[in-house]
Amino acid sequence: MVYDKPAKGEINLEITGRHQQLVNALWAKKNSGGDDRFWLPLSVHLTDTANAINWLYTCWVGEGVKLRLEQSLSPEGAQKLVKFLGFVHDLGKATPAFQLKPSWNQDYDLDDALISRLRDAGFQNLQANSFMKQSPHTIAGETILDYYQVPDSVAAIVGAHHGRTIDDRPERHQKPYQDNYWQSSDSEVQKPWKMVQEALFNQALQTAGYQSVNEIPTVTQPQAVILEGLLIMADWLASTEYLDTAKRKPLFPLVRLGESVAIDTKARFRNAILTWKTTDSWHPAPVSMAEDPYYIRWGFHAHEFQQKMTAEIDQATDPGLVIIEAGMGSGKTEVALLAAEQLAYATGRNGVFMGLPTQATTDAMFTRFNQWLSKIAVDKNLRLQEDELHGKKAYNPLYQELVRASNVDAFDEADDLDHREWLDEGSVALNQWFNGKKSVLTPFSVGTIDNLLLMGLNQKHLFLRHFGFSGKVVIIDEVHAYDAYMTSYLDKALVWLGAYHVPVVILSATLPKEKRNELISAYLKGKYGDEYQNRLVAPAGWQDKVAYPLLSLIDGCTLKQVTVDSKNSGQITQTVTVQRFNGDDEALIQKVLAKLKNGGVAGIIVNTVKRAQALAAIVSQTSDVQLMVLHSAFLAPDRTVQETELQHLIGKHGQRPQRMIVIGTQVLEQSLDVDFDVMYTDIAPIDLVLQRVGRLHRHPIARPAGLTHPRLFLLGVNEFGDYGEANEAVYGNYLLRKTDYFLKDVLTLPTDISPLVQAVYDEQINQQVPGIDQPYRDFKRQQRRQHKKARAFQIQVPQTGRYGTLHGWLKRAHTSVEADSVRANAAVRDIQETLEVILLQRTPNGICLIDGRPLNTVTALEIAQQVVRIPAAVTKYPISAMDQAIRELEQQTGTLFPEWAGETWLRGSLALVLSEQKTATLLGWQLSYSSSRGLSYQKKEGLHGK
């Protein structure tokens, strides 16, 4: 600012009637519709937010999050700071730059009425200037706090509460714009503005319980991020007028212009919270080890592996990172969910997030997670809040059931906080307020791993994501499935989770020791800083531990590693015969059919959708064998049908067909609990091959003659070192060559899992593999490229030390990923941008869904479900192909379906309308769709895409 700051502590706490008259004229929000005009006094919104943040901190935030704040602030100090931030967050609105802002819908009558209130109260010379946009109210608020000598680390929280940070203190940059703060250089004109700013600042001190500004503490950077996320949540809550679109459930509504503004803020807040809080908080209890907790939760008795892992976790006094390596089907998921209860109790968390590689694996896990959570809800007579976090969750039938079950009034208007009908019976529900960016705040959720990886992405409102995860136990499943690019984001997320002391459970059946060590290092670096190695107490040789199954547990600064005999791991011990087959596709199918001469189910897992469809076309010429195809190029409803039918036929208790061939891509190795009598797989990195083998003889059932012994046929090995263009395009030559070298003719499970994985991923033994040098150089070059690309938009690691501001934390925010959530999710995966379309069909009866239903007979949601990705090859070349495709489809969609612009589910969607033969042309490619084969593509000239 441009004049001397007052000495710290010399703030006049007396608020006179003159001050109050000026304060009452300030507005925080304004809106209009038709003949109705509404506004909200600034003092009311500040009080609403202070009440909201104080209640959230007291009643909603878990004890573990509070502990991170109270570590240096004390319980009383933390709560004072929280209340201070809540009230002072919009102090920057007490400036001409904000008060003279026009309405968003250019309602000049509303603007003039509010300006008249300012004049009547005593504000003078109210004229906007051309520089007012240089002082947005967030920056203005931080600048005023800086003037009153509030610590930078606290003032910066106010400056960033709309989701972005600035690079340094704003005072110097704001000096040229004093008229934005006080209207004029005339001291008499300035006086009312200075009076209201001082009055509101003093009221913030009083609200918090501070006697002077000297009592406001400094905070560390991780504390500031948590406080920022809490403040944003409180501000958004206090800015929500109604919980429902019908406006029957008011939270913090505006008031009609001209009506009395004598608002009882206590009653207003109490009614709002009573309406908003439709679910209970979880206060986890200790897991009783006196009786088998697995039997209590799931109705089966734990085997030794589960018992030992659970017992070790239960004994930890300061649990942090838990890594569980065990074979497919060994019961890791149940160990992880029980560990979530143990860790939540030990560390004061009140929620759980479980992250998985794909939407398919997420949907499958959501059912199991829901069953576990429902059992807790019923046992404790609670109504717990749950969500599924991925872009297609609305297509999941279980999620739709939760929507319907939650779409009822949670209470009658006559109810109070102590009496609600839903308390009579435990259940799981949604809360409609937790949508969009707020969904990450949901206490219990299952989602794609992108939700967690985004903790490392430089993106607006990142604080909200960090705050959401800081209060949960985090479970990461299938961690082996993440490449170097995604792992870079995972490491960054683990550093920050460590900084918040968030307990993390990582699961994998096939984890290289180098990646295990990398994950441990990232977490410890976040929790204890770069010097963690000097504090770590660990057994000798822990970095090279290859025992299996294996529990690695970080307890404070101590690393424990625990194993059990593989015979007691709960997994069936079996010997698998491995044979390489390099015949053409026709020969392959003939070999498969010969294997099934006495009946049985064969699985063929290949690395590309196009290859899966080509093999299916050959099988379809044989009439006496059942065929199913599963890959990512299906419409969501069709894929759900395929997966459900597959589970029904060859799931754990399936009604197995006489002869069947299932052809699929990588989705078969992750998402489904299916059982094949014999398996054929394209060569892939060893961990993925082993995951696929996990679907071979998965359950102890009777097998047809000739298939009683598990047998794996490895495809795509033309000769050693030559794995075909398509396979090497997906996985590269280096890992395929090492997999081919170390995978022998006999595979013993689970004994061989860890040694094989370690051998393939151990770079120290590369010299054993012929011709490895150039593939290795290519592999390392690709890894460096991925790491460099990933770092381009990542945040930094936490600032260590007692003090740290948010300045520069989101310094190079990428506007494209801020504006588009789809692009943001893509930013944490090293994949080519693809195009999603709603697939429809032209028929004699008009345009219909692919299943023949006319559009006028289905809902907008059902239409939105007909989505599929256009193959990347179609839009890959030339560079402008993607933009050209979008233009063509936008024009077609706008012409055929102008009404979509007004539909929530369909707004912004692109339609691709197929002919009666279910084909269409796009950018010179012919696209075809079959409900049993999925979407296929071909160059119109007859050249197949890659």
Supply the pLDDT for residue 329: 81
Q: How confident is the model at residue 418 (pLDDT cuts 50, 70, 90)?
A: very low
Q: Kindly indicate the confidence band of residue 34, based on its pLDDT and cuts at 50, 70 and 90.
A: confident
> What is the structure's pLDDT at 39?
96
Band (pLDDT 50/70/90 cuts) for residue 480 is confident
H helix and E strand count, the chain: 37, 26
Closest CA to 218 of 155, 151, 285, 301: 151
Encoded tokens for 774: 């150039």
Residue 410 in this model has a pLDDT that exceeds 80:
no
The verdict on 467 and 338 lying in the same domain is yes
Q: Among 159-163, 352-356, 644-648, which stretch is predicted with the lowest mean pLDDT?
A: 644-648
For 72-122, give the DSSP string: HH-HHHHHHHHHHHHHHTTGGGSSHHHHTPPPTT--HHHHHHHHHHHHHHT
Task: Characterise 104 by phi-psi region: left (phi > 0), alpha (psi -120 to 50), beta (else).
Answer: alpha
Strands 550-555 and 558-563: antiparallel
In this prediction, residue 359 carries a pLDDT of 84
Determine contact, residues 449/507, Cβ cutoff 8 Å: no
Domain boundary among 568, 592, 614: 568
Amino acid 776: pLDDT: 97
Could you give the CA distance from residue 568 to residue 707 in angstroms, rounded to a whole number?
A: 26
Q: In 10 A of CB 944, how many CB atoms? A: 11
pLDDT for 653 beyond 90: no
Report, as an integer, the average pLDDT of 139-152.
Answer: 96
User: What dihedral do alpha carbons 281, 248, 89, 212 form, nearest 10°?
Assistant: -70
Contact 627, 620 (CB under 8 A): yes
In a domain, 401, yes or no: yes
Could you tell me if residue 507 is inside a domain? Answer: yes
Q: Are residues 561 and 578 in the same domain?
A: no
* 235 close to 89: Cβ distance less than 8 angstroms: yes
For range 278-292, the mean pLDDT = 94
The tens digit of pLDDT for each residue in 443-470 reads 999 999 999 999 999 999 999 999 999 9
Q: Assess contact for 632 and 869: CB atoms under 8 A.
A: yes
pLDDT > 80? residue 48: yes
Is 706 among the domain residues? yes
Q: How far is CA 703 from the centre of its chain?
A: 41
Separation between Cα atoms, residue 687 and residue 272, nearest integer Å: 52
292, part of any domain:
no
Q: Mean of the per-residue pLDDT values for the chain?
A: 90
- Token readout for 650 is 């060859």
% of the chain exceeding 90 in pLDDT: 75
**Cβ contact 715:588 at 8 Å:** yes
- Is 359 in the same domain as 318? yes
**Mean pLDDT (whole number) for 338-350:** 98
Statement to judge: residues 604 and 526 lie in one domain:
no
Whether the pLDDT of residue 82 is over 70: the answer is: yes
Question: Token pair for residue 298?
Answer: 């799931």
Give the per-residue pLDDT at 421.
Answer: 39
Tokens of 387: 């969500």
* pLDDT band at 276; cut points 50, 70, 90: very high
DSSP state of 574: E
CA-to-CA distance for 207 and 204, rounded, in angstroms?
Answer: 5
Band (745; pLDDT cuts 50, 70, 90): very high
Higher pLDDT pick, 566 / 835: 835
Condensed to tens digits (0 to 9), the pLDDT of residues 791-845 reads 888 999 998 766 789 999 987 544 444 444 555 555 787 666 778 999 999 999 8
| Angle ∠(184,187,189) on CA atoms, nearest 5 | 55
| Together in a domain, 546 and 592 | no
Residue 726, Cβ neighbours under 10 Å: how many?
16
Instruction: Indicate if the alpha-carbon torsion angle 54, 56, 58, 61 is positive or negative.
Output: negative
Element (H, E) at 354: strand 352-356
- Are 341 and 274 spatial neighbours (Cβ–Cβ below 8 Å)? no
Per the DSSP assignment, residues forming a β-bridge with 630 are 664
At residue 412, the pLDDT reads 37
Q: What's the pTM value of the predicted model, to 2 decimals?
A: 0.92
If asked whether residues 610 and 735 sit together in one domain, one would say: yes
pLDDT value at residue 791:
87
Q: How far is CA 284 from CA 54, 57, 61, 351, 466, in A?
A: 22, 18, 14, 9, 22
Minimum mean pLDDT among 123-127, 337-341, 342-346: which range? 123-127
Q: Alpha carbon 336 to chain centroid distance?
A: 19
Q: Check: CB of residue 874 under 8 Å from CB of residue 923.
A: yes
Q: How many other CB atoms are found less than 10 A from the CB of residue 822?
A: 12
pLDDT of residue 391: 79
The answer to whether residue 278 sits within a structural domain is no
pLDDT at 408: 47
Q: Decide if pLDDT at 14 tops 70.
A: no
Burial 859-871 (b: 16+ CB within 10 A, else e): ebebbbbbbbebb
Give Cα separations from 343 to 70, 110, 429, 435 (angstroms): 20, 54, 23, 27
Whole-angstrom CA distances from 148 to 171, 198, 310, 378 are 12, 9, 53, 52
Question: In which domain, by residue range, is 503 found?
Answer: 308-411+421-568
pLDDT score recorded for residue 407:
65
Q: Do 350 and 478 belong together in one domain?
A: yes
Query: Number of structural domains, the chain?
Result: 4
Whether residue 638 sits in one domain with residue 562: no
CB environment 751-776: b (16+ within 10 A), e (fewer): ebbbebbbbbbbeeeeeebeebeebb
Domain presence at residue 291: no
Query: Is the residue at 334 inside a domain?
Result: yes
Q: Which of 203, 219, 237 is the last residue of a domain?
A: 237
* The predicted structure's pLDDT at residue 104: 87
State the DSSP H helix or E strand holding residue 757, giving kind and residue range, or none if neither.
helix 753-761
Model pLDDT for residues 576-621, shown as the tens digit of each residue: 999 999 999 999 999 999 999 999 999 999 999 999 999 999 999 8
* CA–CA separation, 774 and 757 (whole Å): 21
Assign 16 a pLDDT band (cuts: 50, 70, 90).
low
Q: What is the pLDDT of residue 567?
A: 67
Per-residue confidence band for 8, with pLDDT thresholds at 50, 70 and 90: low
For position 97, what pLDDT does the model report? 96
The predicted structure's pLDDT at residue 426: 79
Confidence bin at 414 (pLDDT 50/70/90): very low
Q: At 375, list the tokens.
A: 């059992």
CATH number of the domain to which 47 belongs? 1.10.3210.30
Token output for 484? 């170097």
Judge whether residue 245 has pLDDT over 90: no
| Cβ atoms of residues 937 and 872 within 8 Å | no
- Where is the domain boundary, 725, 749, 773? 749
Question: Do 533 and 591 share a domain, yes or no?
Answer: no
Is the distance from CB of 863 to CB of 854 less than 8 angstroms?
no
The predicted structure's pLDDT at residue 573: 82
User: Which residues are registered as beta bridge partners of 710?
Assistant: none
Domain assignment present for residue 438? The answer is: yes
CB neighbours of 520 closer than 8 A, spacing ≥ 6? 321, 323, 552, 554, 559
Do 369 and 503 fall within a single domain?
yes
Residue 285 has pLDDT above 80, yes or no: yes
Say what angle helices 397-406 and 359-380 make with each other, to 10 degrees. 40
Range name among 63-67, 173-177, 327-331 with the lowest pLDDT average:
327-331
Shared-domain flag, residues 586 and 505: no
- State residue 823's pLDDT score: 55
Residue 684 belongs to domain with CATH number = 3.40.50.300
Question: Do 596 and 559 belong to one domain?
Answer: no
Question: For residues 491 and 515, is the Cβ–Cβ distance under 8 A?
Answer: no
Q: What are the pLDDT digits (tens) for 500-546?
A: 999 999 999 999 999 999 999 999 999 999 889 999 999 999 999 98
Position 764: which residue type? Q
* Per-residue confidence (pLDDT) for residue 639, from 0 to 100: 86
What integer pLDDT is reported at residue 946 of this predicted model? 35
| Paired tokens of 285 | 């209890």
In this structure, what token pair is assigned to residue 282? 């979880």
Residue with tokens 């406006």: 247
**pLDDT for residue 419 is more than 60:** no
For the cut 50, the answer to whether the pLDDT of residue 943 exceeds it is no
